Structure 1
Amino acid sequence: MSQAIILFVSLLLISATIQLDSTSNASSKVIIKANETILSENRTFELGFFNTDGEPRWYLGIWYASIPTPTYIWVANRETPAKNLSVAAAVITVEGKLAVIASDGEILWRTENAAGAGEARLLEEGNLVLLGGEGEVVWRSFDFPADTWLPGMNLSGRQSLTCWRSSADPAPGKYSLRLKPPEYGEIELVFNGSQRYWSTGNWTGDAFSGVPEMTIPYIYLFHFSNPFTPAAVFGYTEVSAEEGGRPPLTRFQVDFSGRLRQYTWSPQTESWNMFWSQPENHCKVYGLCGKLGFCNTKMLIPCKCLVNFEPIDGSGWGAGDFSGGCRRRGGSICGGEDVFEEIGAVSFDGAITESFSGTRSKCENTCLSNCTCIGLFHNLRTNICKNLFGSLLNLRDLTSDSTIDDVLYVRVPNEGLNRKKKTKNLVLIGTICGFVVILAIMIVALLLFRKRRFKREKEEEDAIFPVTNLKVFSYKELNAATRGFSEKLGHGGFGAVFRGELGDSSPVAVKRLERPGGAEREFRAEVCTIGNIQHVNLVRLRGFCSENSHRLLVYDYMPNGPLSVYLKRDGKDLNWDVRFRIAIGTAKAIAYLHEECRDCIIHCDIKPENILLDEDCSPKVSDFGLAKLVGRDFSRVLATMRGTRGYVAPEWLSGVAITAKADVYSYGMTLLELIGGRRNVEGPPSAGGGGAEEKWFFPPWAARQIIEGNVAAVVDERLPGGYDIVEAERLGLVAVWCIQDEEATRPTMGMVVKMLEGVVEVGVPPPPKLLQALVSGESFHGVGADSGIGESASGGCPNDNVQVSGNSMDSRNHLPTTA
């Protein structure tokens, strides 16, 4: 009877509990369920359930809604995914906590440290917040980040970013980003919450000493003290490239391979541009390959198992999670006869060593007598042995270091080694037989090879240089024409230039490419680019030499040298008519490259050193070693950073694909130098003529004067009354239009020609706001070198005998002394 009563009471209590749970779930407020999502105000971020690998695993998370590439920045139930999406939901419980529940009301995840919430809201910055009854914030997802650090998210001593377990598994991995205790003045990466393996270095006030590239023009890092904890707090914000404009999307991420990466979204390529990654050598990530996993930076997949070892977690290994490490094939280490496999000179962590003197044979016998010994180190020179116990972590190859004498031998099953030796023997026999057959074939093929060699070389040359209007010189011809390369005209970015004279007594300039590694690429670019185009304002390529290792280019000789010679304060002068003719001629040449060739040619290095002057001082654009061809079906092209500092457009620095407008910017900077008769970076006037001079950046000051209508202050003072004020104002306004921050605001080179010729009216441009932010005078110390395709003749270009004004550069005290 008593047992029946106990059973009855138990059933009654279970029923009450079920009813209570049902009531609790019924009174919970559903935020989203199944395929429903919540968008931020401007539709930048989205909250909902997602799946990464097609398996029945669903996670509540936040991702970018404004881009096509799935990028998840926060995950709630990282360790407890929902199995059925149709009945999964995110709710606010009766206690005011955010929770993820499954079909039977099971709570998969909830906010343990927040209560009293009545509403959930996804903010535009990607922050999910819970609001109390009076609208106060009681919980924020930014305080509990996953693997991503976003603008507006503060990183303090109580928070850390933890990577995903693999590319498809959001569960917490083994690598974390945190502030380094106890000072909290730098950021570090740690393995398993304790093992440090990389740090940013100390905070200097505006950057980290070890990672200066962590700040780019669109990111502002800051740090402050938290009044509620002694730990410092770091955060960053996105800085708009133009006031009122929208900055690019940026994020920092700790990826599952244990590295910290910085990304910026490129709308042009619809992909994330990675600016940097640390540690640069992925083999310096602690525990990357797990126990007995070997790391090699030269391999596409960085980790592999040692001989006769296999991955413990095969599926994780395939997904890029190597932290499970490797195990030996054949079971227990003492289960059979073991031998030792030579690995080579390596470095490692984690193992305990026991050292003693002895031969390798003695070392092996000592290790085999202990079932916990996993391998040994032996130094043949000193006869020192080290038996290894425990586990080998962070195995890295050191065979390239000739100072390392210790060789690692790993204990492996004898069966696997015997199979390996048999395989080697079969391979050796097959190799010998194959060698005999191949030798016979080679003897027969040698005759055919010699017969076809000249034909093949001709075909290869035609494929490399698909031009027919250039003369192919021999090296002997050019060596004689330049008298053994004795008269050097100058030295450009890719080699020296020498004066020569061909058999018909016509003078030429011969460029000899000397840059190791990249010279062949620049040589082909210049030949293929300029060899197929003709324009009165482009330097003419007469021919080339591609003989063995010799790479030479033969140009028309320009007797008056580069424009840069005439921009020196103590150099030769040019009258206004010549300057105006140089401005228009150069613009026409660039417009021809951009708009009239079969492919759009972006020169990428417009500067005074690459504008040469012939005997009539007509301009000739030269040096196409950095040129980039863009098909007419494309408006942009991705390219590595190229050009000369001080002339490159701002978009080069942001990593986006560039357009022909990059040349427009360089032309505008060159035009300012032409108008002012000076270089853009040089020493400013010094008070009283004494003291050290600082570098002074001319363009910001000149642009301001031109916009304010004071172009006379910018024009070269060596031309008092000797210039056309209307033409000078037109050139000045065009120059400022060309150096606008946004490429869309700059005119095309075809439009520039019309503006210079007076066909199109030139309005007053807005001031370029980013000019000072992106460059500094000090950054341009020693800019460029003359290309040297020509030299200044004794007569030089006409200057109308205009005398230098008494107001020399040293007396212009009204100019600012800093850029």
Structure 2
Amino acid sequence: MSQPTSIFLAALALLALSAILEAAGEAPGAVLIRGNSTILSDNGTFELGFFSTNDDSWFLGIRYASIPIPTYVWVANRENPIKNLASATLGMTETGRLAVKESGNAGFVWQSENSEPSSKMRLLDTGNLVLLSEEMNIVWQSFDFPTDTWLPGMNLTKDRSLVSWRSLADPSPGFYTLRLKPPGYGEFELVYNASECYWSSGHWTGNAFTNVPEMTIPYIYRFHFDDPFKPSASFGYTETSLDSALKPPLTRFQVDPNGQLMQYTWSSQTENWNTFWKEPENQCRVYGLCGSLGFCSSRTLRPCECLSGFMPMDEIGWTSGDYSKGCRRKSNSPCEEDDVFEELGVMGFEGEVVESFSGSKSSCEKSCLSNCSCVGLSHNEKTSLCKNIYGSLLNLRNLSSNPLLEGILFVRVQRRGIVKKNISKSMVLVASIVGSIAVLGLSILIVLIWRSKRHKERKKQEDAGEAFPVLLNLRVFTYKELQTATNGFSEKLGHGGFGAVFRGQLPDSTPVAVKRLERHGGAEKEFRAEVCTIGNIQHVNLVRLRGFCSDSSHRLLVYDYMPNGPLSAYLRRDTPNLSWEVRFRIAIGTARGIAYLHEECRDCIIHCDIKPENILIDGDFMAKVSDFGLAKLIGRDFSRVIATMRGTWGYVAPEWISGVGITTKADVYSFGMTLLELLGGRRNVEEPPPGDRGGGSEGDKWFFPPWAARQIVEGDVAAVVDERLGGAYNREEAERVALVAVWCIQDEENVRPTMGLVVKMLEGVVEVPIPPPPKLIQALVSGESFQGIRGGSGHGTGSSANERVKSPAASDSSPGVPSSPGNGNVM
């Protein structure tokens, strides 16, 4: 064989060997992915390849391959996108590192940070991309360099955090980070711009974080947390399933571009990601979400809006969901000499620089106008405290606080309606003609209004609406109008904690319920401002507020009339029996209404008085929660409110009685107590069952919840269900309701679920595990001693299984005795 032929054959063999090694990904310089080719994990769950969120930027990422919705869990070159897919490659460098390269680019767009060389790359079924040494040891893995997603099997440490995408269309690092909180690293926190913490998980209890009770649900995942006080502390989780024979559901955590930590599970039935929980639940609590001068609202399709007279700083970013650059004045100049201040009301905000001093509102305005960097001010008329805000105005959100305490926020805007010196005389003439026509038309309108007393009153209400623009959805009544509508307040429907309720009828024959408040806080303007908060809250499971009266010393609220009265009217043996279908509908409807108040309103509203008397039933037997916001409206002096709320101590959470500041979990507790009454068709405190008095005195009262909770935990739900149903109920739904009720009345508030989770449990979206038995409910009725009822009954037997309350008095005003049920439309 000639020498040239030998050289040619050797070259062919070398090329063939190189191709084989390149295909196996084991040779230095090997190309693993080119262009739109991909690599799948062994079971086909995950896929590695290049992707694009727009048509001119490409990223190497890992996504779920087994689901139809493109969901990326890891991105390599998130800071350095590739511009040309055809020339993009993923390969192995001469030093055994993974590298992303674009043809024509002198350097690497991205490369792995392994210190040891590798010879193999594998995409595991967990979604972890690993590099292996010759000895098959992992020398680098993507799980050590997470982006915005936390997968089962991935550990987060003090050096390993999640960073959100910049927007839904931009994988580059965003402003929000989930990290272990220094210096103890015993809890997680969400931070803005690596500095401002706006949510914390609370400390680890051994099976959950104190601020995330949803983590106690064991069937989706199981967490493990190394010693948090060690420098090497790590936190991770694995997927689990109730049935060991079933494959656990896909689940993931993600810090989304809008700053919320989301926990998702995949539903194969709906082929969609279900949100299991999210924190913070109110998106407007995310720091810096809307940028400077951007207003956050949870009621609109998108969370951020610009104030009147302002426009987005970055129109393209704003459209794609990146609101971080905030808003700017529509005029090109940052300020003008004739700027004015527009009142925004009681608002929460953070200013870049806030200068505080005492002075009148005019002096406050003058000081702000003297500096072009001043963007607004806050002034409190009662304390004369002035705050001038310079630079940026972040986290603008509506508050339901008392303006006498918080102060009113004003933002600096361009003056409107000022005639400039260069306006032509013809334009001035046209404006004069238009103005004259407007004046003439207004004069005619006034004459027509004064022709009728009814029109005169309507005009008065319109004037009130102009003074308070947010009241446009409400009608402002005069006291005389409501006196006529209720026939002199003659038909009393009931009496709640805040006042009496009367039946009325408007001139158009609309039936209404009029609540006459016995106590009120604030003056005219403050009362109207507070009513605005309640009046703008609309939900199918909340009683609609039609209007109000703030006439002299009279304070009245006008609601829709509920023809079927309160739930309490159906919790006696001598009242009509509710079918199971109606009961279950009431349970879910009530839960949805309370969850809306807690989690979906612009500001969280704690009801403070959930009980059957405040759950009203409409003509279709749908539940409507009433009295929401009244604790805030009246003034949340808890000690006074409790002392005058007759018969509601059985619904008050332990932490409230002990003097600890309450949270939404106080409402959860009250809902759990109400749920037990709905399930059993009886009041929680009543005379002992026949034949089960155990020799007690006649003043003794039987306390239903301790006995019911014990039966439920032991699996005997049928013993608790109202016997009037006669077995005509859905046993699966009844068991669900019973277990949820016991979870809600747990002693520790951090163990109780949120109302959002309660809704999911009741609907069957979330499995409800067996709860531990609560131990403190015996002390929540009157503070008196409790005695076990001897003997047995149809409700079960055994010593302490039945509890008796020694009533301190036989009158209905005793704290341990519920107010009389069936007394009408009590709100």
TM-score (norm 2): 0.52
Query: Which residue of structure 1 lines up, in the alignment, with residue 30 of structure 2?
Result: 29
Query: Which residue of structure 1 lines up, in the alignment, with residue 563 of structure 2?
Result: 551
* C-alpha spacing 1:405/1:178, structure 2 compared with 1 (3 Å): closer
Query: Which residue of structure 1 lines up, in the alignment, with residue 248 of structure 2?
Result: 247
Residue 168 (structure 2) pairs with residue 156 (structure 1)? no
Once structures 1 and 2 are overlaid, which stretch shifts more, 25-34 or 261-270? Answer: 25-34
Within 5 Å, which residues of 2 pair with 1:419-458?
A: none
Q: Is the 8 A contact 1:153 1:235 kept in 2?
A: yes
Q: Is the 8 A contact 2:713 2:770 kept in 1?
A: no
Question: Secondary structure in 1 aligned to 2:318?
Answer: helix
Q: CA deviation at 1:410?
A: 3.5
Residue 39 (structure 2) pairs with residue 38 (structure 1)? yes
Residue 209 (structure 2) pairs with residue 223 (structure 1)? no
Q: Is the 8 A contact 2:117 2:133 kept in 1?
A: yes
Distance 2:400 2:799 in 1: 64
Distance 2:196 2:771 in 1: 40
Within 5 Å, which residues of 2 pair with 1:99-114?
A: 99-105=99-105, 106-114=107-115
Query: Which residue of structure 2 lines up, in the alignment, with residue 130 of structure 1?
Result: 131
Distance 1:428 1:779 in 2: 74
Query: Which residue of structure 2 lines up, in the alignment, with residue 390 of structure 1?
Result: 391
Question: Secondary structure in 1 aligned to 2:371?
Answer: coil
Distance 1:242 1:698 in 2: 26
* C-alpha spacing 1:367/1:551, structure 2 compared with 1 (3 Å): closer
Q: CA deviation at 1:284?
A: 1.9
Q: CA deviation at 1:694?
A: 8.4
Distance 1:389 1:192 in 2: 20
Query: Which residue of structure 1 lines up, in the alignment, with residue 634 of structure 2?
Result: none
Distance 1:242 1:164 in 2: 35
* C-alpha spacing 1:279/1:263, structure 2 compared with 1 (3 Å): same
* C-alpha spacing 1:171/1:262, structure 2 compared with 1 (3 Å): same
Percent identity reads 46
* C-alpha spacing 1:417/1:266, structure 2 compared with 1 (3 Å): farther
Q: Is the 8 A contact 1:381 1:405 kept in 2?
A: no
Distance 2:776 2:538 in 1: 24
Residue 320 (structure 2) pairs with residue 319 (structure 1)? yes
Gaps of 5+ in 1: 1-24, 444-483, 487-515, 524-547, 566-588, 594-600, 607-622, 628-668, 671-678, 683-692, 704-713, 716-730, 741-769, 783-803, 814-819
1:216-266 Cα offsets, whole Å, 9 max, x none, are: 331222201389x61421111111120121121111111111111111111
Query: Which residue of structure 1 lines up, in the alignment, with residue 284 of structure 2?
Result: 283
Query: Which residue of structure 2 lines up, in the alignment, with residue 172 of structure 1?
Result: 173
Within 5 Å, which residues of 2 pair with 1:411-810?
A: 411-414=412-415, 549=561, 551-552=563-564, 773-775=769-771, 809-810=797-798
Residue 327 (structure 2) pairs with residue 343 (structure 1)? no
Gaps of 5+ in 2: 1-25, 421-426, 451-491, 495-533, 544-559, 588-618, 624-678, 681-688, 693-705, 720-726, 737-765, 779-791, 802-827
Amino acid at match of 2:167: S
Query: Which residue of structure 2 lines up, in the alignment, with residue 185 of structure 1?
Result: 186
Question: Secondary structure in 1 aligned to 2:284?
Answer: helix
Q: CA deviation at 1:417?
A: 6.8
Q: CA deviation at 1:39?
A: 1.6
Q: Is the 8 A contact 2:354 2:388 kept in 1?
A: yes
* C-alpha spacing 1:339/1:152, structure 2 compared with 1 (3 Å): same
Residue 104 (structure 2) pairs with residue 91 (structure 1)? no
Amino acid at match of 1:273: N
Q: Is the 8 A contact 2:564 2:621 kept in 1?
A: no
1:429-452 Cα offsets, whole Å, 9 max, x none, are: 999899899999999xxxxxxxxx
Within 5 Å, which residues of 2 pair with 1:289-368?
A: 289-333=290-334, 336-345=336-345, 346-368=347-369
Amino acid at match of 2:182: P
Distance 1:179 1:700 in 2: 36
Distance 1:522 1:333 in 2: 44
Distance 1:332 1:518 in 2: 40
Amino acid at match of 1:71: T
Q: CA deviation at 1:120?
A: 1.6
Q: CA deviation at 1:151?
A: 1.2
Query: Which residue of structure 2 lines up, in the alignment, with residue 116 of structure 1?
Result: 117
Q: CA deviation at 1:372?
A: 3.7
Q: Is the 8 A contact 2:351 2:389 kept in 1?
A: no
* C-alpha spacing 1:130/1:432, structure 2 compared with 1 (3 Å): farther
Q: CA deviation at 1:114?
A: 4.2
Distance 1:300 1:519 in 2: 16
* C-alpha spacing 1:197/1:431, structure 2 compared with 1 (3 Å): farther
Distance 2:158 2:122 in 1: 26
Query: Which residue of structure 1 lines up, in the alignment, with residue 76 of structure 2?
Result: 76
* C-alpha spacing 1:155/1:27, structure 2 compared with 1 (3 Å): closer
Distance 1:699 1:379 in 2: 53
Q: Is the 8 A contact 1:603 1:626 kept in 2?
A: no
Q: Is the 8 A contact 2:337 2:369 kept in 1?
A: no
Within 5 Å, which residues of 2 pair with 1:190-201?
A: 190-201=191-202
Distance 2:715 2:193 in 1: 57
1:493-513 Cα offsets, whole Å, 9 max, x none, are: xxxxxxxxxxxxxxxxxxxxx
1:547-571 Cα offsets, whole Å, 9 max, x none, are: x935359xxxx9x989xx9xxxxxx
Distance 2:350 2:196 in 1: 12
Q: Is the 8 A contact 2:264 2:275 kept in 1?
A: yes
Q: Is the 8 A contact 1:380 1:405 kept in 2?
A: no
Q: Is the 8 A contact 1:338 1:412 kept in 2?
A: no
* C-alpha spacing 1:365/1:626, structure 2 compared with 1 (3 Å): closer
Amino acid at match of 2:207: D
Q: CA deviation at 1:409?
A: 3.7
Query: Which residue of structure 1 lines up, in the alignment, with residue 822 of structure 2?
Result: none
Residue 159 (structure 2) pairs with residue 147 (structure 1)? no
1:266-313 Cα offsets, whole Å, 9 max, x none, are: 122111111222112222211111122233344333323334332221
Amino acid at match of 2:75: V
Amino acid at match of 2:342: E
Amino acid at match of 1:341: F
Question: Secondary structure in 2 aligned to 1:391?
Answer: strand
Distance 2:357 2:150 in 1: 50
Distance 2:257 2:207 in 1: 29
Distance 2:287 2:70 in 1: 29
Query: Which residue of structure 1 lines up, in the alignment, with residue 273 of structure 2?
Result: 272
Amino acid at match of 1:224: D
* C-alpha spacing 1:775/1:430, structure 2 compared with 1 (3 Å): farther
Q: Is the 8 A contact 1:177 1:187 kept in 2?
A: yes
RMSD: 6.2
Question: Secondary structure in 1 aligned to 2:109?
Answer: strand
Q: CA deviation at 1:352?
A: 2.5
Query: Which residue of structure 2 lines up, in the alignment, with residue 653 of structure 1?
Result: none
Q: CA deviation at 1:125?
A: 1.3
Distance 2:585 2:776 in 1: 18
Of structures 1 and 2, the larger Rg is shown by: 1
Distance 2:205 2:222 in 1: 14
Q: How many aligned positions are there?
A: 542
Question: Secondary structure in 2 aligned to 1:126?
Answer: coil
Distance 1:260 1:71 in 2: 16
Amino acid at match of 1:158: D
* C-alpha spacing 1:278/1:288, structure 2 compared with 1 (3 Å): same
Once structures 1 and 2 are overlaid, which stretch shifts more, 386-395 or 397-406? Answer: 397-406
Q: Is the 8 A contact 1:338 1:411 kept in 2?
A: no
* C-alpha spacing 1:435/1:152, structure 2 compared with 1 (3 Å): farther
Question: Secondary structure in 2 aligned to 1:318?
Answer: helix
